[in-house]
Amino acid sequence: MEDDRFPGWHGTTILAVKRDGKVVVAGDGQVSVGQTVMKGTARKVRRLSPGGRDVVVGFAGSTADAFTLLERLEKKLEAAPGQLQRACVELAKDWRTDKYLRNLEAMLIVTDGTQIYVVTGAGDVLEPEHDVAAIGSGGNFALAAARGLLETDLGPEEVARKAMAIASDICVYTNGKLTVEILEA
């Protein structure tokens, strides 16, 4: 069932791959409204530097909602420097319980180069089991491809790029114009 508040909005694909002491976060650039591609070069992966420590966040869903969440996450990280899990849990709690935030339509992948978390408005803060996480309309395709590619000797960036290429070949709401950020542990 489609949400009337977001008619025809379809997401994106964000993928995080952890390997060899690095975390690579890749996101496609397509923004679609219904069956129309509105933009092909959106930047849905961002680097934040609260307190001097880099954190990379990828988002799927409404851009305005995601930016609201990014601002809140940055404040949580400033309040708890070096404690990514705590900041993510606090954000998820606020997101689920705050009357305004609870209506936000987005999902986040957050990493500091050591840990990866998927944060949702349902109050979830999930840490992937297989050092790979994906969200968005093409997320399951990218996730499956990345898990298969982790069986090879490819480096984390190559795994992420190849998995995103596979997702963009399958998901009509995902393109091959990537933003890629890399953090080392």
Listed in order, strand segments (DSSP E) in 35-173 are 36-39, 45-48, 55-61, 106-111, 116-119, 125-126, 132-136
Q: Is 68 annotated for ligand binding? A: no
- Separation between Cα atoms, residue 24 and residue 102, nearest integer Å: 29
- Separation between Cα atoms, residue 106 and residue 162, nearest integer Å: 25
- The set of residues, in sequence order, having a beta carbon less than 8 Å from that of 125 and lying 6+ positions away, is 85, 88, 89, 92, 117, 118, 119
Tokens for 44, please give them.
Answer: 């849905």
HSE-CB for 93 with a 13 A CA cutoff: 7
Q: Is 13 annotated for ligand binding? A: no
Which residues are part of the catalytic machinery? 12
Q: Is 171 annotated for ligand binding? A: yes
Q: Is 164 within 8 Å of 6 (Cβ atoms)?
A: no
For the chain, the maximum distance between any two Cα atoms, rounded to a whole number of angstroms, is: 47
Q: Is 55 within 8 Å of 112 (Cβ atoms)?
A: yes
Q: Which residues are annotated as a binding site?
A: 168, 171, 174
Q: Which residues are annotated as a binding site for Na(+)?
A: 168, 171, 174
